[in-house]
Amino acid sequence: MTPLSRPRRLALVVVVAAALFLGLSGAPAGAYAPASTATIHPGVMTYTAGAQCTANFIFSDGADLYIGQAAHCSGTGAATDTNGCDSGSLPLGTPVEVDGASRPGVLAYNSWLTMQAVGETDPDACQYNDLALVRLDPADHDKVNPSVPVYGGPNGIGGPTALGETVYSYGNSSLRLGVAVLSPKTGVSLGTEANGWTHPVYTVTPGIPGDSGSPFLNSRGQAIGVLSTLAIAPLVASNGVSDLGHMVDYMHAHSNISAQLVNGTEPFRPSLIGLVPLAL
């Protein structure tokens, strides 16, 4: 299994409803920038010490706003290091550049650092707990919208995905050279594995370097996870999507970060956009 992150390492480090709706953070939708003009949202690029990844979802604790990325985006080891219980990471407090923001954010939570601090030994958690939160500068709060581009949502956090269930994602690697029709991706889940920690999925085009951390939604528009790895075997070219519910529960149980997922202000719109390379 290979992480889907950073083009600099030539590694594949990859990842409703209702408008006028209260997100889980308790912040009213009106507190966010309109989805049509917001510059910070799921799917923007983040850069940690030069490593490029795609942000997943927006989180809030009622005071601060955070944007999610994969924990391995701040990794310091080899591109093939995927075990968060023994892989190196940059420390909390590391500045993270976020596309659309006027100031860098700060690495506020990293599941790899947390697992190492608590002495985690569960092999499923060690392999698939791949979430980091970047605290956004208050000066940029008015630039944020929590909706996933193209598809809308998220509408809460979903549970296990069934074999054959349609899933939706949005990758934004710079290797796509700004070709917007290649960013939305529709795919299919291969089920849920590792005691609920991961969802292997196939999308029409697998994640590429820079897609790491991308958001994934299920067929109901619920957030199910973040793009973490590209499988070489046994399911060649499938992507490993780390389960968001498990990762958020772990964060709440083992850190002082109480942030919750913020629901989108735009309704979830299931679409076949991303199923085929339209306009090519």
For the stretch 93-128, pLDDT in tens is 999 999 999 999 999 999 999 999 999 999 999 999
Give 214's strand partners. none
Reported pTM:
0.85
Q: Give the lowest-confidence range in 5-9, 122-126, 225-229.
A: 5-9
Nearest by Cα to 158 from 238, 67, 66, 243: 243
CATH dotted code for 1-32+43-266: 2.40.10.120
Query: Pick from 142, 209, 148: which is nearest to 176 by CA?
Result: 209
If you average pLDDT over residues 268-275, what whole number do you get? Answer: 72
Phi, psi of 243 (to 5 degrees): -70, 125
Is the four-CA dihedral 187, 188, 193, 197 of positive or negative sign?
A: positive
In sequence order, the 6+-apart residues with CB closer than 8 A to the CB of 243 are 128, 192, 196, 197, 198, 199, 224, 225
In the DSSP assignment, the letter for residue 201 is E
**Per-residue DSSP letter, 241:** E
Measure the CA–CA gap between 257 and 246, rounded to whole angstroms.
15
Give the separation between CA 155 and CA 179, rounded to whole angstroms.
27
Q: What is the mean pLDDT of residues 19-40?
A: 65
What is the percent of the chain where pLDDT is above 90? Answer: 67
Percent of the chain residues topping a pLDDT of 70: 76
Nearest partner of 261 among 101, 58, 32, judged by Cα: 58
Residue 277 neighbours by CB distance under 10 Å: 11
Q: Which of 26, 32, 105 is CA-nearest to residue 68?
A: 105
CA angle, corner 127, sides to 170 and 262, nearest 5? 40
Sequence-distant (≥ 6) Cβ neighbours of residue 170 within 8 angstroms: 42, 43, 54, 148, 149, 150, 151, 183, 184, 185, 214, 215
Q: For the chain, which residues make up each domain, given as ranges?
A: 1-32+43-266
Q: What pLDDT score does 9 carry?
A: 31
